Structures are given as C-alpha cells and as structure tokens.
Amino acid sequence: MTQEINKTNKSEWPLWEVFIRSKVGLDHKHAGSLHAADAEMAIENARDVYTRRMEGVSIWVVESKFIHASDPGESESLYDPANDKIYRHPTFYNLPDEVKYM
Amino acid sequence: MTVHSFQEHFDSLIDRELTIEPRDWMPDDYRKTLIRQISQHAHSEIVGMLPEGNWITRAPSLRRKAVLLAKVQDEAGHGLYLYSAAETLGVTRDELYDQLHTGKAKYSSIFNYPTLTWADMGAIGWLVDGAAIMNQVPLCRTSYGPYARAMVRVCKEESFHQRQGFEIMLTLSKGTEIQKKLAQDAFNRWWWPSLMMFGPPDAESPHTEQSVRWRIKRLTNDELRQKFVDVTVEQAKVLGLEVPDKDLKWNEERGHFDFGAINWDEFWNVVKGNGPCNKQRLETRKKAWEDGKWVRDAAMAHAEKRKAKKDAVKAA
C-alpha cells in the first residue's frame, strides 16, 4: 500500500504556492497554487495561469511543503498577548481639540 | 476542544458569513461535498475545452480564432484554479484526474453535446457560459475560502466569454438568410440543455437544503434557472431569434416567464453516459493524459538531473 502511494506521488509534479506583485511598489500576495517539475517551470506556469491579463509585474514561487502555518485551533492563545494592549493604538490617547494634525 | 465544540465553532463561522479555511476543523460531509462539487466544476472546465477546441482551426477569421483560443485557454486556467482549491481539502491532483478518467466523477452534461456548426460557438458562449455565470456569481460568496477566491477569478474572466458568444450570434442573426438559420438552429439545440445545466428541480434535489445551510450553494436550482430564463428571453429579442419553447409566456402575477416542461429523461440519460458525445469526450481526455505521460516524466527527470548537477557544483 505504501509503495502504491509512493508510486502515484512520484509521477505527480510537486505543488507550488504562487505569490504575485500586481503593481510596482506593492507587496507580493498569494494568488494560488499549481504543479510544476521545478522552480523555473513553476514561474512560467504561474505566468500562464495567474497573469493572463497583466495581473502581475513579479512572481514568487515556493514549494508548498516549505510553507509553515500557524494552527487555527491555537489562534486564541497565539494572539492573546496583543489582546489587552489598547494603548498601542493612537485612539487610546485623549488630546485637546486645539491640537490639530497629530 | 471536543468534537462538539469544534462543530459549534464551525457553525458559528457559517452563521456569521465568515469563511472556512483549509486548516480549520470542518465536518466530514462538508469536506466530501466540497471535494465533489469543486472537482466536478474543475472537470467541467477541462472537458468543456473539447467542444470548442473542435472549431479553433476552422474559425472564420483571425480575430475569431484569437478570441476562441483565449477563451479555451481561460477554461484550462479555470480548471487549474479549481483543482488547486480542491487539493487544499486533502485530495491529490492525480486522484482527481483518476476519478474523471474512470468515470467515477461527473462533469457538466452539457459538454456531451456535439458542436455541429460555427454558430454553436456563439450559442455556447451566450447560453452555456451565461448559465455558468448565473451559477457561479453567487459562489463568489461561498463559505469555503479557497473556493470563493477561485470563483472570484473565474467570474472576472468569464464575462468576456459570454459577450464574445453573443457577438457571434448577433453577427450571424444580422447576416444572410443562411447565417440567420444557423444561429436559430444552434439556439434550438442548446436552449434546453442549457436549462438542464442548473440541475434537477428542487423537489428532486435532496442535498440542496444542507448545501444552502453550508453556503456552498446560495440559490436553488429552480431559482437560478428562472433567473436565467428571464434574462435570456430578453436577449433573444435583441438577436431577433425565437426561443424554441411554445409554452414560454410572461406571467404578470409571478413577474417571471413561465416556460415549458424540461425533458428530464434526456438529462438523466446523458448523466448516465448515454449522451451523443460522452464516450468521445472521455476517450479524448484519457488519450491526452496518457500521451502526455512521457512529457511529464521527462520534465521531472530533467528537473532532478539539473538539481543533482547544481548540488554537485555546490559540493565541489
């Protein structure tokens, strides 16, 4: 059974995540994923799949297996430290009306 | 968290119109239904290239040819967005292809009808893509994040598909007597299968309620079908073509068009594999996959060889 699985996985090209910069000055944003034999092919495929209408000026690809993600089940404790620190926001501070542009 | 609280959390995301993401907990049936629905949609995009591919080499002008090529390429792209969305649910691409090639998975039965004349390119764009858009726009707000995001891309690109089809129909219907006849004939053949694209009537669609609850379906089959009829009948008037339905009539009270009975026996017969082109479509797909095997293997071998060379240089 394990052998069977290895056989199918071997024939399948690895999965890549695609990030696209849509305009000069903006950051790269996740666009989707695709299969390709190597990074060069992944970039060419990403051009054909995700930028057929000039949606990008720059492409990043990374093999999906190298992405590490936070656990949604632990998001409460993960973000907990930021929860009670409203003084990190400018709206926490009261200023007299005379003060403009601050 | 216990299974019960997982379920509660999931339900509350659904109720608050928030999205479910790949790593979130979800009920098994939700996952299974989504894999089925998304992959069926992906398969439809891929098989949907075949009836139109039939006319690329015979398009009547360079402009029409470039447009048709771009449309078919878009369909390949749509298939790929959707396969990727399905893969985030834990199924591999090879498994999905295998389900299509063995007939285990279905695709939209409309693609089992033949494309006999150039006017069919117009009718497909206008009617089939029109029906698809009607179906897909509400899915941009579906509950599963990767699916909703794929649908946003698909819908953005799809509207040119319908317009180019309508333009072909308009040109033909304003053309010579023979051209007008071709347009009407294509309309006659594609109208009823297009209405069937929305699926069986609500009364015979047992999963609708659950799917609406999960927000993987936002309107019922009959609601979408009615919307499509109302919009398309008006467009046919612009073309000066006759809707091939003698029972079609405006219903003042309902504020909708009444239309004739759909031949559901024909629908189920095509779904079961006995449509005019079922065999041919599947065989073409399988042949393309099998004939492409050496290319996939060669690309992989080439990538491995290059990597080994690079590693050797680094080590030296």
CATH number at residue A28: 3.10.20.520
Q: Is the pLDDT of residue B245 over 50?
A: yes
| Mutate: best of A4, A7, A13, A75, partner B, most B CBs <10 A | A13
Least confident of A89-93, B58-62, B87-91, B180-184: A89-93
Note whether residue A80 is domain-resident: no
Radius of gyration of chain B (CA): 22
pLDDT band at B136 (very low <50, low <70, confident <90, very high): very high
DSSP E strand boundaries for chain B: 249-251, 256-258
Question: Are the C-beta atoms of B172 and B183 separated by less than 8 Å?
Answer: yes
Note whether residue A36 is domain-resident: yes
Question: Amino acid letter at B36?
Answer: R
- CB-based contact B94 A41, cutoff 8 Å: no
pLDDT of residue A3: 38
Q: How far apart are CA B64 and CA B66, in angstroms?
A: 6
Q: How far apart are CA B40 and CA B107, in angstroms?
A: 5
Q: What pTM was estimated for this model as a whole?
A: 0.92
- CB-based contact A71 B77, cutoff 8 Å: no
Q: Is the pLDDT of residue B62 over 50?
A: yes
In the sheet with A28-35, reading across from the earlier edge strand, the strands are A28-35, A15-21, A58-63
User: Residues of A with CB below 8 A from B73's CB?
Assistant: 48, 52
Residues 6+ apart with CB under 8 A from B22: B88, B89, B145, B146
Domain with A26 in it: 2-69
User: Residues of B with CB below 8 A from A13's CB?
Assistant: 296, 299-300
The predicted model gives B274-303 an average pLDDT of 96
Q: How far apart are CA B146 and CA B86, in angstroms?
A: 8
Question: Amino acid letter at B13?
Answer: L
Q: Is the pLDDT of residue A37 over 70?
A: yes
The predicted model gives B73-100 an average pLDDT of 96
- CB-based contact A52 B81, cutoff 8 Å: no
The predicted model gives B46-53 an average pLDDT of 97
The upper half-sphere exposure of residue B236, i.e. CA atoms within 13 Å in the direction of its Cβ, equals 21
- CB-based contact B1 A38, cutoff 8 Å: no
Relative to beta strand B256-258, strand A15-21 is unpaired
**CA of A87 vs chain B CAs: smallest distance (Å):** 28
Residues 6+ apart with CB under 8 A from B216: B30, B33, B34, B37, B139, B142, B143, B144, B147
| Average of per-residue pLDDT values in chain B | 95
Burial A33-71 (b: 16+ CB within 10 A, else e): bbbbbbbebbeebbeebbbeeeebeebbbeebeeeeeee
Tokens of B152: 């946003």
pLDDT of residue B163: 95
Least confident of A9-13, B39-43, B138-142: A9-13
Q: How far apart are CA B146 and CA B23, in angstroms?
A: 11
- CB-based contact B299 A33, cutoff 8 Å: no
Q: How far apart are CA B222 and CA B219, in angstroms?
A: 8
Q: Is the pLDDT of residue A7 over 70?
A: no
Percent above pLDDT 90 for chain B: 94
Percent above pLDDT 90 for chain A: 68
Q: How far apart are CA B20 and CA B213, in angstroms?
A: 14
User: What ipTM does this complex have?
Assistant: 0.88
Q: Is the pLDDT of residue B78 over 50?
A: yes
Note whether residue A96 is domain-resident: no
User: Residues of B with CB below 8 A from A37's CB?
Assistant: 296, 299-300, 302-303
pLDDT band at A72 (very low <50, low <70, confident <90, very high): confident
Q: How far apart are CA B114 and CA B281, in angstroms?
A: 10
- CB-based contact A72 B24, cutoff 8 Å: yes
Q: What are phi and psi of A89, to 5 degrees?
A: -105, 145
Question: Are the C-beta atoms of B161 and B74 separated by less than 8 Å?
Answer: yes
Output the CA torsion B264→B53→B34→A68 (10° steps): 180
pLDDT band at B67 (very low <50, low <70, confident <90, very high): very high
Note whether residue A42 is domain-resident: yes
Residues 6+ apart with CB under 8 A from B41: B82
Note whether residue A90 is domain-resident: no
Domains contained in chain A, number: 1
Closest CA to B48 of B72, B84, B13, B77: B72
pLDDT band at A10 (very low <50, low <70, confident <90, very high): low
pLDDT band at A76 (very low <50, low <70, confident <90, very high): confident
Output the CA torsion B227→B233→B239→B241 (10° steps): 140
Note whether residue A35 is domain-resident: yes
pLDDT tens readout for residues B102-121? 999 999 999 999 999 999 99
Choose among B77, B94, B153: nearest Cβ to A11. Answer: B94
Note whether residue A88 is domain-resident: no
Q: How far apart are CA B213 and CA B220, in angstroms?
A: 11
H-helix or E-strand spanning residue B282: helix B278-291
Note whether residue A93 is domain-resident: no
